[in-house]
Amino acid sequence: MRLRLGMIGGGQGTFIGAVHRIAARIDWEYELVCGAFSSDAKSSQASGLLLGLPANRVYNSYTELIEQEKQLPEHERVQVISIVTPNHLHFAPAKMALENGFHVILDKPMTFSLAEAKVLDRVVRTTGKLFCLTHTYTDYPMIKEARQLINAGKLGTIRKVYVDYPQGWLSTFLEGDGNKQASWRTDPGKSGIAGAMGDIGTHAFNLAEYVTGLEVTQICADINIVVQDRKLDDDGAALLKFNNGASGVLTASQIAAGEENNLKIRVYGETGGLEWQQNDANSLRIMYIDKPVEVWRAGAGYTSLFALQNTRTPPGHPEGYLEAFANLYRNFALTIKAGLEGKAALPEALDYPGIKEGVRGMAFIENVIASGKSDKKWTEFSI
Amino acid sequence: MRLRLGMIGGGQGTFIGAVHRIAARIDWEYELVCGAFSSDAKSSQASGLLLGLPANRVYNSYTELIEQEKQLPEHERVQVISIVTPNHLHFAPAKMALENGFHVILDKPMTFSLAEAKVLDRVVRTTGKLFCLTHTYTDYPMIKEARQLINAGKLGTIRKVYVDYPQGWLSTFLEGDGNKQASWRTDPGKSGIAGAMGDIGTHAFNLAEYVTGLEVTQICADINIVVQDRKLDDDGAALLKFNNGASGVLTASQIAAGEENNLKIRVYGETGGLEWQQNDANSLRIMYIDKPVEVWRAGAGYTSLFALQNTRTPPGHPEGYLEAFANLYRNFALTIKAGLEGKAALPEALDYPGIKEGVRGMAFIENVIASGKSDKKWTEFSI
Amino acid sequence: MRLRLGMIGGGQGTFIGAVHRIAARIDWEYELVCGAFSSDAKSSQASGLLLGLPANRVYNSYTELIEQEKQLPEHERVQVISIVTPNHLHFAPAKMALENGFHVILDKPMTFSLAEAKVLDRVVRTTGKLFCLTHTYTDYPMIKEARQLINAGKLGTIRKVYVDYPQGWLSTFLEGDGNKQASWRTDPGKSGIAGAMGDIGTHAFNLAEYVTGLEVTQICADINIVVQDRKLDDDGAALLKFNNGASGVLTASQIAAGEENNLKIRVYGETGGLEWQQNDANSLRIMYIDKPVEVWRAGAGYTSLFALQNTRTPPGHPEGYLEAFANLYRNFALTIKAGLEGKAALPEALDYPGIKEGVRGMAFIENVIASGKSDKKWTEFSI
Amino acid sequence: MRLRLGMIGGGQGTFIGAVHRIAARIDWEYELVCGAFSSDAKSSQASGLLLGLPANRVYNSYTELIEQEKQLPEHERVQVISIVTPNHLHFAPAKMALENGFHVILDKPMTFSLAEAKVLDRVVRTTGKLFCLTHTYTDYPMIKEARQLINAGKLGTIRKVYVDYPQGWLSTFLEGDGNKQASWRTDPGKSGIAGAMGDIGTHAFNLAEYVTGLEVTQICADINIVVQDRKLDDDGAALLKFNNGASGVLTASQIAAGEENNLKIRVYGETGGLEWQQNDANSLRIMYIDKPVEVWRAGAGYTSLFALQNTRTPPGHPEGYLEAFANLYRNFALTIKAGLEGKAALPEALDYPGIKEGVRGMAFIENVIASGKSDKKWTEFSI
């Protein structure tokens, strides 16, 4: 049985729309049944046609989609709605979808503001519908392994966390050349109060909290607009304090000229450390004080169920970004299906980012930007 | 429009069957419409059910599949048949499928013997149906880039080729423990005259010829059965001569204990060299006599159309084995569709391994095994 | 002609004393002629004996060494004095040596306090003697290349600097076990006000300023004592501002469990970036916005004189830490010799760390520790 | 006490002469006391002067050096003679030095021919003088560790050995441009019957035998002259059989355009494998069938005495080629000194390449070249 999936946004020519669809197809837990792919009706229809949808399931707006689908018989009606619009168009469709009985998959950062995030949090709790936020990077198998190892005490109490997210693609004033990706990401009206911090800083923040199982309690940030005339931050760094007393450093830059997308994390505890980077995503380095470094590999028999269930191939057959995205889609599907069957979902399936991560991510944005403007060293992480 | 795909073999519990289906779904150029997933009728039905196929399109044998599908109206009938059985069950269904008007995707090595391969070659030419052989590794974008660069003379005349395929999973007598993958691969009745040389040596051979655009003309091989009681080679190495006078070395081993699947190639010409390995599949190292090494990256704007068309994401979003497999499926689909539309397929689409590679692969098996048994140093590569 | 070298400190069993002597010997620009190797007279004599020095050139204290050597005829008398004592014993012997006409090589951090550093600065200027500070890492050939490339505008205006110095050897309370290296480094009476920040933070700071040619103007630091009962910081991170408006992040930790000594730097400008790490010291990665990454290599013909003159072997014959240390010794010797011959030293020879770097290093210690204690975000870098 | 060292060859402008002197100085076990640095008397004198030797200890020929030094009182007389001439000038000075009571350090390959090697073997045995052959690569600490681990059974019985030595510097007809290094190495009158196989193939061969503790028994070689008009091989590959039944592949090329000097070895046994490459000389990868790969590091406390005694610095302070060379010099010195003191040398000190390795190296040259010319597949390795 495949879940019936609908999309809001993500029409022709959008990068992330195609990624969502591939992710949904890889494990074939979903069937795309409807969509409102663009706020432009013609464009939405054209996208739907290309995707092979019947015309009557391609809608001109998200409101139309939700209202019409709700009228359909239960066995035809869409079950999960994936929302892949720019940040300012996250909240309203997500809220409406949840309130009308649909499960929701939403792109990060979760909303335009923390205030919206808190409302959505309540909506999720009230409606009881399931909610998944696409913090893709935490769905790499070796990231899941890292979390399991730390949780099991492999490194002792965590003392230090470094997370770095360098990109270089905004090194020039790309938004001046009409680049679509750059334009909305640097537009306060569409992105919110943060640029790089919202786009990639939230990923780094989420990765740090996910892997360590800790929560950030204080932030001291240096937030920069490096490229002239840009309206939102394109670079930043933050000193962090965690709830167990550990400290950390988070960096996120989109003006690290020549860098692609090599998100990295290093965590150190009393007895050892670990290191992961997306460029070598299938490896996890474990360091010890007095033993050789170990390189743990995705798909290997010695890894945990959390890693193995998120790998499709034996060691040495590299899986990458699209498979990480697919893991997220699959785990969400398995959780939904367990619910439909009245069963408890497996811990491995439940291990996908959700509303809590979304609220914390929005709080990160507000706190990190506030800290960037503050003369005080430490800003309490408040929600 | 999606092509209608059928499968022979590849039922529940087989590794490669699932891989084929993921590959077919990633770019959504195919829809699975029928299958004969196992020689055991019950098992075939169970697999079909799981895959969501209607019972009347799940068959008990490949002959039934081909005969029944042929009766269906053209717009319903399967168009492409994927054959994912062990080697001894490649030839008959492939031949029958082609002769009954279906395009064929076939696992490597192509057939059980070179004699069968030659017959299949004639069948392909006679029927005019399209044929694709799953030499996955040549469908990595940076391998395509390597071929383009060499073809454009970037390295000058090629002088030396090294290709290595180390695996360690057959370091113990796994077939004695009932391991399914190991059992048929080490069984001369199912694999043919070669073990490791057929299973992975053919990939290494194909990669060397594909990247360089050269053909092997002479082989001097050392073929070993290392693990006691094994019936087929699990290790080998071969000195090579190419048709332009270049020389090479090919190694393939399944007893390289601790190795996963890190296929590697290095090629040197008059003015430079290149290096690629599957463990870092999105990078291609280009070396020069008097300039810094360059690391070319999948998805980068400076790469050729052949690479770009086989990448789905921007640089820094790693794609891997499943995407390489999907490239093969997509390119084959684009070629079929061009034919259906009466157009010439694009060069990038046509760049998939086919019958010629299949025949040469089977010739490699026969020549390398013959050389292994010969006291003479050089064995002419004969077909 | 070899320069006559004397040593203060660095007797038997000290790590860094042996390193200095190897460094001095590698290029044979020095001959060890005398020493006061320990404050313990017997131990000094024993060390001198082992090193093959005549008994009358082995002294019981640095004052004795300086006074006695001064009496010797000019052609016998020591010319350069290397001081390899713990921090609290840097200033007095350095000052006395300079004031008595000797050139000085001094371990970092330069002095016990910034106040001492300023005095030493005046002494150097007044006496006109030459002074070298052992910031070894800036004497790696590819670090010199990095500086040259940035200075020549290869990356455009510098925007972002990351420098990381992770060590793990102080992850436990080693000073409690009588470990000599750990004991003085964690003792405020011997190290000064900083632990990790003085020991390795100064290296990271120096590397950042050297490579970029920029100066730090503001610091925002998080300074930690992680291991219980330790008296000085063993971990820290700092946000940085540079005099051209660039920003940066510096991290230095001695509780990064499992890490050895992998100092790393990444610098990004308008048009590209570069990356170096000590673990792969003979490579320098240069990144561009729209071209492949280049890997520049020590010893290669395309590198600058500054790199080539600090390499002894062709590319592919790795040189390491001891050779970097030797570069420093050699460049200092070449500068001294040019002076003795009344010539101007070559720019490549003059390129060694000296009194200015020493003063800035001590200022870094005082500023970073002050910032660590401050509630204000930014501390002006003052000297 | 330092051993008195003399040099034959290795004057100004030679690469390897300077390397020998640095190696001898690093651990200060030797003092250079005399030399016949060139067959040209003036050049020899000039070199001696630069090296600070008294004129009466700089000789015009090796015969003069040996005869004159022999006349000196025992406590002045040279003790160890290092011979760093081209291959055709190895045998005569080595033989004469040994027969006149001096210990000898000799560059590889040991002699011009196997016949000479056998004579030298007898001379060493007859005279009882000590003999060291500069197979530098086996003196890297992690190579020593590899040998110890294999010897201790860490990988089980060895089954497969791959050793690769790629260089690119002879990709063009460099000897036509008067390049000194290229000229003698490609001149049969100076190098002997082999080019690349003698120059670097012998290193690869020695490394394979040293690390595994096995001996090659059969060779099947493909030997090529790739660059037009060259007189000796510049490329080759050989299939190998070892005395325990293991097989192997050795490649050595000087036309691998763009390669520097990245000697690599991989060895696989029943239960695991290991991998080392000179570009990352301080790491040794250990692989297991069912455990994570381990990265063992030079200087680490968990390594054997054989590794630790050949490392000067803690982990993370990279040592390289010159230190490996120095290890060889030091171990030889420690062995000589033990003899002088009437003690047995420590096993770690005795672990340097000597006459046996020299004879086997020359046999390798003759056998591999013979195999290259043979139509038979396997050539017995005969001495």
Confidence (pLDDT) at A180:
87
Q: How far is CA A317 from CA A41, A281, B211, D67, in A?
A: 42, 12, 20, 66
Contact C302 B295 (CB under 8 A): no
Confidence (pLDDT) at B310:
97
Question: Does C49 touch chain D if contact means CB atoms closer than 8 Å?
Answer: no
Residues of D in contact with A302 (CB under 8 A): 290-292
Residues of B in contact with C292 (CB under 8 A): 286, 294-297, 300, 302
Residues of D in contact with B290 (CB under 8 A): none
Q: What is the pLDDT of residues B32-75, one digit of tens each?
A: 999 999 989 999 999 999 999 999 999 999 999 999 999 999 99
Q: What average pLDDT does range C2-27 have in this prediction? A: 94
**Residues whose CB is less than 8 angstroms from the CB of residue C213 and which lie 6 or more positions away in sequence, other chains included:** C147, C150, C151
Confidence (pLDDT) at B293:
98
- CATH code at D111? 3.40.50.720
Phi, psi of D339 (to 5 degrees): -60, -45
Contact D320 C318 (CB under 8 A): yes
Q: What average pLDDT does range C334-357 have in this prediction? A: 97
Q: Which residue, among D155, D228, D268, would best test binding to B if mutated, counting the most B CBs under 10 Å from its CB?
A: D268
Nearest to A325 by CA among B327, B318, B300: B318
Confidence (pLDDT) at A13:
80
Q: Using 50, 70 and 90 to split pLDDT, how confident is the model at A178?
A: confident
Q: What is the pLDDT of residues D310-334, one digit of tens each?
A: 999 999 999 999 999 999 999 999 9
Using the predicted structure, report yes or no on whether residue A143 has a pLDDT greater than 80. Answer: yes
Contact B293 C294 (CB under 8 A): yes
Strands, sheet with C3-9, edge to edge from the N-terminal-most edge strand: C30-36, C3-9, C80-84, C103-106, C131-133
**Residues whose CB is less than 8 angstroms from the CB of residue C330 and which lie 6 or more positions away in sequence, other chains included:** C26, C27, C29
Confidence (pLDDT) at A14:
82
The beta-carbon neighbor of D318 closest among C25, C26, C281 is: C281
The answer to whether residues B155 and B271 touch, using CB atoms and an 8 Å cutoff, is yes
In terms of C-beta density within 10 A (0-12 exposed, 13-18 middle, 19 or more buried), how is residue C178 classed?
exposed
Question: Does C290 touch chain B if contact means CB atoms closer than 8 Å?
Answer: yes
The beta-carbon neighbor of A315 closest among B2, B260, B323 is: B260
Query: Residue D337: inside a domain, yes or no?
Result: no
Confidence (pLDDT) at A95:
98
Phi, psi of A40 (to 5 degrees): -90, 115
Q: What is the pLDDT of residues B100-135, one digit of tens each?
A: 999 999 999 999 999 999 999 999 999 999 999 999
Gap between the Cα atoms of C354 and C206, Å rounded: 11
Q: For the ranges A38-47, A97-106, D241-250, which has the lowest average pLDDT?
A: A38-47
Same structural domain for residues D163 and D248? yes
Same structural domain for residues C89 and C158? no
Question: Does C376 touch chain A if contact means CB atoms closer than 8 Å?
Answer: yes
Tally the C-alpha atoms within 13 A of residue D146's C-alpha that lie toward its C-beta: 36
Contact D296 A295 (CB under 8 A): no
Same structural domain for residues C129 and C160? no
The answer to whether residues A170 and A200 touch, using CB atoms and an 8 Å cutoff, is no
Using the predicted structure, report yes or no on whether residue C14 has a pLDDT greater than 90. Answer: no
Question: Does D372 touch chain B if contact means CB atoms closer than 8 Å?
Answer: no
In terms of C-beta density within 10 A (0-12 exposed, 13-18 middle, 19 or more buried), how is residue B162 classed?
buried
Same structural domain for residues A130 and A251? no
Residue of D nearest to C264 (CA): D316
3-state secondary structure at position B15: helix
Same structural domain for residues A35 and A129? yes
Confidence (pLDDT) at D235:
98
Confidence (pLDDT) at A364:
98
Same structural domain for residues C260 and C349? no
Question: Does B291 touch chain C if contact means CB atoms closer than 8 Å?
Answer: yes
Q: What average pLDDT does range B83-106 have in this prediction? A: 97
Question: Does C14 touch chain D if contact means CB atoms closer than 8 Å?
Answer: no
Q: Which residue, among C161, C163, C167, C171, would best test binding to A if mutated, counting the most A CBs under 10 Å from its CB?
A: C171
pLDDT more than 70, % of chain A: 100
Residues of A in contact with D300 (CB under 8 A): 290, 292
Structure tokens at C255: 């509780």
Nearest to A204 by CA among A282, A287, A272, A262: A262
């395309």: which residue's tokens?
A: C302
Query: Residue D328: inside a domain, yes or no?
Result: no
Using the predicted structure, report yes or no on whether residue D1 has a pLDDT greater than 80. Answer: no
User: H/E element holding D68?
Assistant: helix D62-71
Number of domains in chain A: 2
Same structural domain for residues B349 and B367? no
Length of chain C as a residue count: 383
Query: Residue B328: inside a domain, yes or no?
Result: no
Same structural domain for residues C163 and C70? no
Residues of D in contact with A293 (CB under 8 A): 294-295, 297
Contact C302 B286 (CB under 8 A): no
Same structural domain for residues B69 and B185? no
Confidence (pLDDT) at B229:
97
Q: Using 50, 70 and 90 to split pLDDT, how confident is the model at A12?
A: confident
Confidence (pLDDT) at C136:
96
> Which residues constitute the domain of residue B303?
138-311+359-373
Q: Using 50, 70 and 90 to split pLDDT, how confident is the model at B214?
A: very high
Residues of A in contact with D302 (CB under 8 A): 290-292
How does the average pLDDT of chain A come out, rounded?
Answer: 97
pLDDT more than 90, % of chain B: 97
Residues of A in contact with B316 (CB under 8 A): 167, 259-262, 278-279
Contact A302 D293 (CB under 8 A): no
Query: Residue B166: inside a domain, yes or no?
Result: yes
Confidence (pLDDT) at C25:
96
Using the predicted structure, report yes or no on whether residue D263 has a pLDDT greater than 90. Answer: yes
Confidence (pLDDT) at A183:
93
CA distance D374 to chain C (A): 34
Query: Residue C226: inside a domain, yes or no?
Result: yes
Q: Using 50, 70 and 90 to split pLDDT, how confident is the model at D180?
A: confident
Chains in contact with B, where contact requires at least 3 CB pairs less than 8 Å apart:
A, C, D
* CA A312 to chain CA mean position, Å: 21
C-alpha dihedral sign at D189, D192, D194, D196: negative
Q: Using 50, 70 and 90 to split pLDDT, how confident is the model at A15?
A: confident
Gap between the Cα atoms of D241 and D161, Å rounded: 9
Query: Residue D380: inside a domain, yes or no?
Result: no
Contact A22 B21 (CB under 8 A): no
Q: What average pLDDT does range A63-77 have in this prediction? A: 97
Q: How far is CA C316 from CA B319, C282, D161, D278, in A?
A: 32, 9, 23, 8
The answer to whether residues D158 and D269 touch, using CB atoms and an 8 Å cutoff, is yes
Tally the C-alpha atoms within 13 A of residue A341's C-alpha that lie toward its C-beta: 12
**Residues whose CB is less than 8 angstroms from the CB of residue B279 and which lie 6 or more positions away in sequence, other chains included:** A316, A318, B260, B262
How does the average pLDDT of chain D come out, rounded?
Answer: 97
Gap between the Cα atoms of B256 and A122, Å rounded: 56
Confidence (pLDDT) at B15:
83
Confidence (pLDDT) at D178:
87
Confidence (pLDDT) at C292:
98
Answer yes or no: is the ipTM higher than 0.90: yes
The beta-carbon neighbor of D25 closest among C28, C318, C319 is: C28
Tally the C-alpha atoms within 13 A of residue C14's C-alpha that lie toward its C-beta: 22
3-state secondary structure at position D34: strand
Q: What is the pLDDT of residues D75-121, one digit of tens each?
A: 999 999 999 999 999 999 999 999 999 999 999 999 999 999 999 99
The beta-carbon neighbor of A270 closest among C237, C251, C257 is: C257
Same structural domain for residues C118 and C22? yes
Q: Which residue, among D149, D294, D297, D303, would best test binding to A if mutated, counting the most A CBs under 10 Å from its CB?
A: D294
Q: Tell me the DSSP string of A249-261.
A: EEEEES--TT---
Confidence (pLDDT) at B334:
98
Contact A26 B21 (CB under 8 A): no
Q: Using 50, 70 and 90 to split pLDDT, how confident is the model at C13?
A: confident
Query: Residue D326: inside a domain, yes or no?
Result: no
CA distance A383 to chain C (A): 22
Confidence (pLDDT) at A188:
96
Confidence (pLDDT) at A1:
78
Question: Does A16 touch chain B if contact means CB atoms closer than 8 Å?
Answer: no
The beta-carbon neighbor of C317 closest among D52, D313, D321 is: D321
Query: Residue B334: inside a domain, yes or no?
Result: no
Same structural domain for residues B180 and B117? no
Question: Does B149 touch chain C if contact means CB atoms closer than 8 Å?
Answer: no
Same structural domain for residues C29 and C144? no
Residues of A in contact with D295 (CB under 8 A): 292-295
C-alpha dihedral sign at C189, C193, C199, C202: negative
Question: Does D177 touch chain B if contact means CB atoms closer than 8 Å?
Answer: no
The backbone region for D240, taken as left when phi is positive above 0, alpha when psi lies in -120 to 50, beta otherwise, is beta
The answer to whether residues D23 and C26 touch, using CB atoms and an 8 Å cutoff, is no
3-state secondary structure at position A34: strand
The backbone region for C274, taken as left when phi is positive above 0, alpha when psi lies in -120 to 50, beta otherwise, is beta
- CATH code at C182? 3.30.360.10
Using the predicted structure, report yes or no on whether residue A244 has a pLDDT greater than 80. Answer: yes
Question: Which residues does residue A346 pair with via DSSP β-bridges, in sequence order?
Answer: none
The beta-carbon neighbor of A295 closest among D290, D295, D297 is: D295
Residue of B nearest to D218 (CA): B222
Q: Using 50, 70 and 90 to split pLDDT, how confident is the model at D13?
A: confident
Q: Which residue, among C7, C321, C337, would best test binding to D if mutated, counting the most D CBs under 10 Å from its CB?
A: C321
Confidence (pLDDT) at D54:
95
How does the average pLDDT of chain C come out, rounded?
Answer: 97
Chains in contact with D, where contact requires at least 3 CB pairs less than 8 Å apart:
A, B, C
CA distance B312 to chain A (A): 8
Task: Show which of residues 341-360 on chain D sit within 8 Å of chain B, judged by CB atoms.
Answer: none
Residues of A in contact with B167 (CB under 8 A): 316
Confidence (pLDDT) at C203:
98
